[in-house]
Structure formats: structure tokens, C-alpha cells
A and B are shown apart, each in its own frame.
Chain A
């Protein structure tokens, strides 16, 4: 009687060896495949010229163009490339990206179906600045949700602005 009680009282220990083996293998797999810099990509396509047989829309297309100069970003719209707004650099010498994002969000609300933007930087603009501008044109700040009705009358909710980026004068 006493013997069986002491048997029950004895602590049972789980066999950790197979778990340890699995963890070790997993660690080596992760170490081999680890990349300690977070690498992502931003897509852009070379402009393509196509002939379309579709009936041409009477409405002037958005044709959003961002002209990036040394001191400002000029937002142009329409086929005639009418200047919509000019954003000068801030006093610290950086482009006013917050204001650009707001302006683009306003344009997006009026043209919810549009997702293309043409970038036209001058030769001296740095690549880092171009990437920042691309980031600003792709998404709303703080994931703000834009709600508007498209041409078909459907309610569209989106956080993306103009994520189809095309660089002019590539070909």
C-alpha cells in the first residue's frame, strides 16, 4: 500500500531530448535563412505605348504628374498638364511630404478609380528623396481610409493612393 503511494508521489519528468533536437534543427534552419536587413521592394513599370480601340471618354483623364524640381514638387493634372498645386521645400530643406500626401488624398477622393502617377524628377534629385516621394504617393498617412463612390456607383474604401508609379522619359 505504502509502496504504491510512493510510486504515485514520484515526479514524472518529460523527455526533453526530442524537443531539444527539433529546436536545434529549427535554429540552424533560421540562422541559415536569416537576413538581418529587412528588404522590401517598390514596383514601377517602364511606360508603354498602346493603341486602344475603345471609345474615348469625353471626360479629361486625370493624368497625374509629379514634377520634382530642386526646390519644389509640382502637381499637374489633365492632358494639358495644368498646374494643380506647387509644394515648395520646407525651411529645413526637405520636401513637404505631409502636405503632398494630403493633396494626393484629396485628388484620390475625386478620382477613386485612378491608381497611376507619373513621376518626372530632374536629374539631380537624389534616389533617397525619390523613394520617399514614392512612399508618399502610394499610401495614405497613418493608414487613413478614404471612402468614395466610383464611376459605377460602388462604395470604395481604400488606404492606397496612386501605387502604379511610372517614370517619364525612360524609353
Chain B
């Protein structure tokens, strides 16, 4: 009796396999894919904006490179490689805490470059670059202090990070 019922059920379910309509799901996936492909940035620079920094708009289309990142927000708080370093005070051109931190990073990077002999020169050239992320409301005085200190610490190639506007 039970066997008969089971066979009947088995026959019935075998005739019509349950099919999901995935057309709408595929539509969503394609739209998502296109959106993500459009917003994809091939740059190796990964940036987390700290302290509510607002970047200035620019027409530049040069992609950023991964190197030391120095961020200054509108309150002149400074982050170096995403670590809070201190506040810039109005006054001297050379900002000591920035210099010390950059010098420390430079020495570490040079040591790494020396250990990899074949890539040493290329890495050392790359080590001269600094990504400057400044809030757009800051004045040239702060920018000058940052650039002056960075150049003294061995980073004479400044990369101003800006936001693209279309």
C-alpha cells in the first residue's frame, strides 16, 4: 500500500521538475556588474579618508600610486599611513612630528629595499614619493609646511590627491 503511494508520488514529481525563473535575477546581476565595472579604479592606491576630509575637484586623470599617505583635515590633524600623528601648529615651516614619523618610515623602507638587491634602485626611487591628501579648505601655508617637511624628510616628489570631476 505504502509502496504504491510512494511510486505514484515519485512518478508525479518526476514529470514536472520545479523550475525557477532567474531572468529578473540575471537582470539585476548584469546591472550590478556594469555599475561595478564603471566604478572600478585600476589604481593601486587604496585610500581611507580620515577626519571628514573633503578633497578638491580636479580634471586630472592620472592614477595614484601606492606610497606614503599623509592626510590633513580642516582642523589640521595629521594622519600618516592612517595613523594619527599630531596637530599642525601655526608657526615654523618644519613640522617636527611629521618629519620624525616620515624619517622613521623612510629608514624602514630603505632597509627593505636594500635587502632586495635587484629591486633596490627602483624601490628607492618609488620611496621618494608622498601622497598628500589635504582638505580643500586649508590654506597654502599648511600645504607649504607639509611639503617643506616632506622634502626635508626625503620625499621630494609630491602627489596631490584630488577627486575627479566629470
CB distance A39 to B45 under 8 Å? yes
**Interface-forming stretch among A25-33, A73-81, A88-96, A108-116?**
A25-33
Would you give the 0/1 interface string for A131-152, flagging 1 where the beta carbon is closer than 8 Å to chain B? 1101100110000000000000
Q: Is B158 an interface residue (CB 8 A)?
A: yes
State the main secondary structure of chain B at its contact with A: mixed
CB distance from B161 to the nearest CB of A (A): 6
CB distance A169 to B140 under 8 Å? no
Closest to B156 in A: A46
Cα-based distance from A84 to B137 in the complex (angstroms): 30
**Interface-forming stretch among B2-10, B77-85, B101-109, B128-136?**
B128-136
State the main secondary structure of chain A at its contact with B: mixed
Given A46-B147, A127-B135, A170-B151, CB of A23 within 8 Å of CB of B46: no
CB distance B32 to A131 under 8 Å? no
Q: Which of B49, B64, B131, B151 is the most central at the interface, judged by chain A CB atoms within 10 Å of its CB?
A: B151
> Across the interface, which residues of A come within 8 angstroms of B40, CB to CB?
30, 33-34
Given A135-B59, A135-B60, A170-B151, CB of A45 within 8 Å of CB of B156: yes
CB distance from A78 to the nearest CB of B (A): 24
CB distance A39 to B161 under 8 Å? yes
Q: Is B141 an interface residue (CB 8 A)?
A: yes
> Across the interface, which residues of B come within 8 angstroms of A5, CB to CB?
none
> Across the interface, which residues of B come within 8 angstroms of A20, CB to CB?
22, 26, 29
> Across the interface, which residues of A come within 8 angstroms of B158, CB to CB?
43-46
CB distance A23 to B143 under 8 Å? no
CB distance B62 to A41 under 8 Å? yes
User: B60 contacts which of A37, A40, A169 (Cβ < 8 Å)?
Assistant: A40
Q: Which of A24, A37, A127 is the most central at the interface, judged by chain B CB atoms within 10 Å of its CB?
A: A127
Closest to A125 in B: B140
Closest to A42 in B: B160
Q: Is A123 an interface residue (CB 8 A)?
A: yes
Cα-based distance from A88 to B140 in the complex (angstroms): 19
User: A40 contacts which of B32, B39, B162 (Cβ < 8 Å)?
Assistant: B162
User: A35 contacts which of B47, B60, B131 (Cβ < 8 Å)?
Assistant: B47
Cα-based distance from A139 to B43 in the complex (angstroms): 22
Q: Is B119 an interface residue (CB 8 A)?
A: no
CB distance A40 to B57 under 8 Å? no
List residues of chain B with CB under 8 Å of any chain A CB. 22, 26, 29, 32-33, 36-37, 39-41, 43, 45-47, 49, 55-65, 131, 134-144, 147-148, 151-152, 156-164
